[in-house]
Structure 1
Amino acid sequence: MPASLVMLSHPMLAPVEGPLAAAGFRTARRWELADGERPAVRAIVHAGEIPLTPDFLERLPNLGLIACVSVGYDGVDVAWCRARGIEVTHAKGLNADDVADHAMGLLLASWRNIVLGDRIVREGGWRDDDRMRPRPGLKGRKLGVVGLGAIGEAVARRAEAFGLEAAWWGPRPKDAAWPRAESLLKLAQDSDILVVACRADASNRGLISREVIEAVGPRGLIVNVARGSVVDEDALIAALKDGRLGRAALDVFAQEPTPPERWADAPNTVLTPHSAGSTVDSIPRMVAQAVENVRLFLAGEPVMSPAPA
C-alpha cells in the first residue's frame, strides 16, 4: 500500500494542513485528489455538516477514519461507515460554551432590536418617538430549549442569569435542572423564545415544522444554532412574512452559504454565517482533537471521541 495520506474534505479546512504536517502526516486535498492517490487515503479530516456520500467513500478503498473537526457530523452516515469498518469521530463538547454565548447574542440582538437600532442610528433614522415604542424585557419570559446536550444546557444556564424561565424537550428523558415538556409542540406553545440546539440527523430533519413555528407565534422568537436541516426553512420564512412568527435569529441554514435574496423580504431576522462555534479558543482545541484522533487511528490505538451511533 502507498504511504498513508490524510485527506482534507473541504477548502475551509486548508489551515489544518499545518497541524497535520507538524504531526508528521502527509496530506491531500479532496478538491485536488488524483485518482491514483485514492488508495493511499487512510483518514479524512472533515467538516461534519458537509455530505460525504457513500459513492465517494467507496472510491477510497483503504479509508478507515473520518475525523470531524466539528461537533456535528450530520453529513456522514455513521452506521453505513461503521458497517464497512470506517470509524467516525467528532469534537465532542469542545465549543459548547461558545455556541451558547452566540445563541444568547442572537437572542438579545433580536429580542431587543439591537441590529435594527444600529442601522437606524447609522442611517440617520433616529426619532424620539421610537423610545416610546419599547420592546418587552427578558425577565420572566419563557425560554424553551430543543435538545439538552452540552450546548442546550449551557444556553439554559445563561438564560437563568437574564431572569428567563427555562424548560426543554428532547426525545429521551434525562436528569436535568429544568423541566422537560411533554412534547415539542407543548414546549413551543409555552415558550416566548425557542432555542434550537439539538443534534441533527436523519430522524429530525424538519423537526421545527410549520405547526411548531406557529405555536411559538406572532410575538415569539426562534433561535437556531443547531443545523439548518432541523428547521423547515420555507415554513419559517413564510411565517415571518405573514406575521405568524414574530422573529427569527439564525446561525445555520438549509443551504450554506444561504442565498441573500432568500432573506431580502423576511422581516425581523438576525442572521450570522454559521460562526457560533468558531472562536480563537475553541478552534485550536477542535483541530487538535481531530489530529490526535488521526494519530491514534494510524497507530492502531482506540480513538478518543467516537461519534455516537
Structure 2
Amino acid sequence: MPGKRLTVVVTRRLLERVETRLSELFDAKLRPDDTPMTRDEMIAATRDADVLVPTITDEIDAPFLAAIGDRLKLIANYGAGVDHIDVATARQRGILVSNTPGVLTEDTADMTMALILAVTRRIPEGLAVMQKGEWEGWAPNAFLGGRVGGRRLGILGMGRIGQAVARRARAFGMQIHYHNRKRLRPEIEEELEATYWDSLDQMIARVDVLSVNCPHTPSTFHLMNARRLKLMKPQAVLVNTSRGEVVDENALTRMLRAGEIAGAGLDVYEHGTDINPRLRELRNVVLLPHMGSATEEGRLEMGEKVLLNIKTFDDGHRPPDQVVPGML
C-alpha cells in the first residue's frame, strides 16, 4: 500500500519497545491498559484495521471473521500457538495468518524442567511452610521427594520444545523416551539418547514423568484422556506446558485425588482461567499462571517477529512466519 501506513490494531499491552516500534512504522492502535478486549470491542476495532495483532486470549473464529467486514488482510498473532484462530476460514476470506515460532523454545523448556523438579521435590510445600513461619527445623523424614536422575521421562511431542526439554533432562540424568507423529532422524535420536515409541499407550505405561509438549489440534484434543491417564504408573508425574486441551482435566483431577497418579505440574488449563477448584486444593499439584513464555527476552523476540511479519507483508511479500491450514 504505497504512501499509506497500515492500520494495525493490537489487542493487548505489549513491551514498550515493541509498541514504540509499531507506532513508528504503522498507524498503530494500542491498548491503553492490559485488559482483554471484549468480543464486541475487538470486532469494532478490527473493522477499521488492515492488520490485527491478537494474543492467545482472543478467539478469532468464523463468526468473528464474518462480522469484521473485508478490510482486514493480515492476522499477525503475538504467539506461536494459533488454535484460537480459524486459519482455514481466514484463508477463505483472503486474510493471511502469521505467528511467532521458535522464540519461546528455551523458555518453555526451562519451565518444564522447573515443574518436574517442583513436583518431584515438593518445592511448593516447603515454600508454603517457610512463608507461614511453621518450619521447626530439619527432620530425616520431612518433605521427602524423589530423585530425578535415573527416572524415565516420556515426552509427548518431540518438536523444538520437546527436544529442548530432552537436552535439559539428559543433563539431570533422566532417560529420554518420546512419542511423536514422525520419528526423529537417527542422528538426533543418538544425540538425545532418546527411545522412540510408536505406541503412545506403551510409552505412557513405562515412564516415571510424562511431559506434554504437543500442540492442540483436533487430533490431540484430550489425547491424554481418562483411559490413557489410567495407564500411567501410580508413582508417575504429569507435566503440561503446552496446551491444556490435550489433557482431560477432570479425569486428571479425579486420579490425582484418588492417588492413582503421584502428582502434576501444570502451566496451562483446559478451560483457561476456569480451573477445576478441586485441582487447586491438591498438595501434589503445582499450578502456574501460564508462565512458560514469561521472560522479557522471549516477549521481545515475539514482538520482533510480529514486526517483521507485518513489515514484510507491507512490502508486498509473504510473511516469513505465515501459517497455512496444511501446517496444522
Query: How many pairs align?
Result: 308
The 8 Å contact of residues 5 and 26 in structure 2, kept in 1 or not, is answered as: no
1:247 and 2:263 are equivalent in the alignment: yes
The residue aligned with 2:195 is 179
Following superposition, the deviation at residue 246 of structure 1 comes to: 0.8
Q: Which residue of 1 aligns with 2:66?
A: 58
Q: Residue 288 of structure 1: which of 295, 301, 304 is its match?
A: 304
Distance apart, 1:34 and its partner CA: 8.5
Partner of 1:5: 7
Q: Which moved more, 1:120-129 or 1:184-193?
A: 120-129
**In structure 1, what is the equivalent of residue 21 of structure 2?**
19
Aligned residue for 2:261, secondary structure, equals coil
- Residue 100 of structure 1 corresponds to 109
Contact 2:312 2:319 survives alignment (8 Å): yes
Please tell me the root mean square deviation across aligned C-alpha atoms, in Å.
Answer: 2.4
Alpha-carbon distance change, 291 to 118 in structure 1, aligned in 2, over 3 angstroms: same
Report the Cα distance in structure 2 between the residues aligned to 1:34 and 1:112, rounded to whole angstroms: 44
Aligned partner of 2:99 in structure 1 is 90
What letter is aligned with 2:116? L
Q: Cα 1:189–1:126, aligned 2, differ >3 Å: closer, same or farther?
A: farther
CA contact (8 A) 2:5 2:27 kept: no
Q: Is the 8 A contact 1:208 1:230 kept in 2?
A: yes
Q: Give the whole-Å Cα distance in 1 for the aligned partners of 2:183 and 2:307.
A: 34
**Pair 1:118-2:131 in alignment:** no
Aligned to 1:139: 149
Question: In structure 2, what is the Cα distance between the partners aligned to 1:304 and 1:160?
Answer: 33
Instruction: Find the aligned partners of 2:111 and 2:44 in 1 and give their Cα distance.
Output: 43
Match of 1:269 in 2: 285
Cα distance change, pair 205–37 in 1 and its aligned pair in 2 (3 A): closer
Name the counterpart of 2:273: 257
Listed as ranges, the gaps of 5+ residues in structure 1 are none
Report the CA distance between 1:67 and its aligned residue: 1.0
Structure 2 stretches of 5 or more lacking a match? 32-36
Q: CA deviation at 1:174?
A: 2.7
In the alignment, the residues of structure 2 paired with residue 23 and residue 164 of structure 1 have an alpha-carbon distance, to the nearest angstrom, of 47
Query: Against the structure 1 CA distance between its residues 59 and 214, is the aligned structure 2 distance closer, same or farther, given a 3 Å change threshold?
Result: same
SS at match of 1:254: coil
Instruction: Please give the residue correspondences for 1:193-204 in structure 2 after superposition, counting only pairs within 5 Å.
Output: 193-204=209-220
- Quick one: which of 47, 50, 55 aligns to 1:47? 55
Give distance in 1, aligned partners of 2:74 and 2:21.
Answer: 17
Task: Report the alpha carbon displacement of residue 28 of structure 1 after superposing the two structures with TM.
Answer: 5.9
Distance 1:34 1:68 in 2: 14
1:98-147 superposed Cα distances (whole Å, 9 cap, x missing partner): 10001100110110111111222333144654536732211111000010
After superposition, the Cα gap between the structure-2 partners of 1:46 and 1:188, relative to the gap in structure 1 and judged at 3 Å, is same
Give the alignment's TM-score, normalised by structure 2.
0.86
> How much has 1:265 moved relative to structure 2?
2.8
Q: State percent identity of aligned pairs.
A: 29
Structure 1 range deviating more: 295-304 or 278-287? 295-304
Supply the distance in 2 between the matched residues of 1:65 and 1:59 (Cα, whole angstroms). Answer: 16
TM-score of the pair, normalised by structure 1? 0.91
